[in-house]
Amino acid sequence: MSIRILCIHGVNTNENGDWLAKWQQSIRSAAASAGVAANAFEFHELRYNAHFEAAKADGAVYAEAVKRLWNSYWAHRRALGRATEKGLGTLIDNTIGMVAKWTALPQLRQQLATELAQSIKSVNPHVICAHSLGSLITYDTLAAQQALAQDRLFVTLGSQIGHPALAESFGGYLKPLSTVRHWYHLFNSEDAVLTCELDFPEAPYTQLDTYFDEWGPLDHSAEQYLAHEVTASNVWAGLAKALPRSIEPAKPKPAPAVGGPWFKAPTLQRRSPRKRRALLIGINEYPQPENRLSGCVNDVFQMSAMLQERGYQPEEIRVVLDARATTRGVDERLKWLLEDVRAGDERVLFYSGHGAQVAALDTDGEPDHKDEALVTYDFDWSGNTGITDDTLARYYANLPYEARLSIILDCCHSGGIARAGGVAVRGINPPDDVRHRGIEWDAAKEMWFPRKKLDLRSRMNKAPAEVVRRYLGADGATQKMGRAVSRWSDDPTAFKAATRRLGHHGPYNPVLLAACREDQYAYEYTHGSVPYGAMTFMLIQQLRATAGRKTLEDVVTQCNSVLKSKLGYEQEVQLYRPREHQQTRFPGKAPVAKKKKA
């Protein structure tokens, strides 16, 4: 028996060159080091360049696709703290064209999927190795036709599948491949070609850290991935454990021949046994004296106490406060919070501090849309814009639909002022030069108005005005927290078609509790001599008063009643719960009622 490998190359590969010979050499060499005989493999290739050469994209459509990829690429790279290397822009520009054409032309994607499906049926491979653009084509095909992946070993290398720039092509959500024997995702943190990590905790899936740093800024070559010692000790060693030492070559058998003990898959183990985790963030001591608050740290301890009353263990809760709550510090803890999330697991993100609204710039330096942001300790309005929904969506957009993520934000995004009597407001105003990004001059009316260009409403097609406001704000230009708007497409029809084809409902959305409407302020409240966020204090008070047995809707209604009637605050707590979300109560379990003494 021989192991049949179907090889699918990446962008800008000369199909008449020696790429396949190099792949064969890398695989045979690495496999031999793991104990697999050199004659164990039979290699096949998929040629697809002709489809790209024949496909003609409308100039405007293609240009828009390239721009979207560029915007997302640089935004994601900045979010990861990666520097811009000399010559990188030109190299990416030379590789991004084929990917842009693939995203812009659904008909091309369908042709490629059909061709790949035919090749899989013809070759009937044990292993499918897909690099770069080839991995996009392959995942797109297998996710829609999972029977094609049945019992095969899938290896992706230098892959862009998980990059936010490609999310809309997959309907904003990535489904695991449940039918494969195993999926190995070879990831190199130095790879600059839109590569991204992936996480499918409940699937037969493993991401391997195949770090390498070769000459030039791309670090993207398939041969380096395939010959890597980590690949050898995991992927090819899995073959060595199951195959005899000496294998006589054999012709491919007719389908279905895949199966049997030809590969020993790794035992799937949960990285963390905990089904619950909470991250609580509070910032009082901002560097600028005028931005300092008083009740945020108290809010964090109040929330920690409430979660523990509802069954959370102390070790399931992490806290980050004040100067430690930098953008990088929060991002690292978000990774802890949202790693290894499975169906039925519960996660809580609580934030108490300032909020802001930031005009995001595209690759041309022009304002593109507005982002709601959580103001971290080192937030600076330009290079460091805190935690936006783009950042959060990297972690939550692909969570299992059955997971329960709650985001609780005691802040506001509409600026900040001090109310008469010194009541602090949890929002900050942008400097005038930053504010200028989002406004334009109307000469006829001699007034400043919001820029018309900042508009995301095309992504919502014919949705009712109230639904548009809930996702995009009153101005239709704001990426609101917890909505994963960055994963949507400007072509809602194509986006819907992708969700149907791939069998899902689009990006995961969490339950979100926000301190106020977007046109209101989030205030602090002093209880005797102890300051708190008004929303957090009322929320905890209502949960304790009802023993946590009321629905979220009931708790929010009662909070708003007290805020208005007792405190006189024009602040209405907002609850956003997607209709498909099954969570109806506050995280944790309601404490057992104590029996009254006779």
Instruction: Cite the active site residues.
Output: 354, 412
262: nearest Cα among 78, 471, 5: 5
Compute how many other C-beta atoms are within 10 angstroms of the C-beta atom of residue 542: 21
What type of residue sits at position 112? Answer: L
Q: How far apart are CA 284 and CA 381, in angstroms?
A: 18
Asked if residues 369 and 478 have their Cβ atoms less than 8 Å apart, the reply is: yes
The secondary structure of residue 246, as a DSSP letter, is S
Place of tokens 């639909």: 401
SS3 394: helix
Question: What tokens were used for 38?
Answer: 């050199």
Compute how many other C-beta atoms are within 10 angstroms of the C-beta atom of residue 440: 13
Compute how many other C-beta atoms are within 10 angstroms of the C-beta atom of residue 78: 14
Q: How far apart are CA 415 and CA 370, in angstroms?
A: 14
CA torsion, points 401, 406, 411, 414, in degrees to nearest 10?
Answer: 20
Asked if residues 504 and 173 have their Cβ atoms less than 8 Å apart, the reply is: yes
Q: How far apart are CA 317 and CA 304, in angstroms?
A: 7
Please give the distance of CA 189 from its chain centroid, rounded to a whole number: 17
Question: What tokens were used for 227?
Answer: 């010959």
Per-residue burial over 238-255, b = 16 or more CB atoms within 10 Å of its CB, e = otherwise: bbbeebeeebeeeeeeee
Question: What tokens were used for 478?
Answer: 């704001």
Q: Is the dihedral of CA 382, 387, 390, 394 positive or negative?
A: positive
Q: How far apart are CA 417 and CA 323, in angstroms?
A: 23
194: nearest Cα among 52, 97, 72, 332: 72
The secondary structure of residue 146, as a DSSP letter, is G
Q: How far apart are CA 262 and CA 239, in angstroms?
A: 6
Q: How far apart are CA 44 and CA 5, in angstroms?
A: 6
Q: How far apart are CA 353 and CA 167, in angstroms?
A: 30
Q: How far apart are CA 475 and CA 454, in angstroms?
A: 8
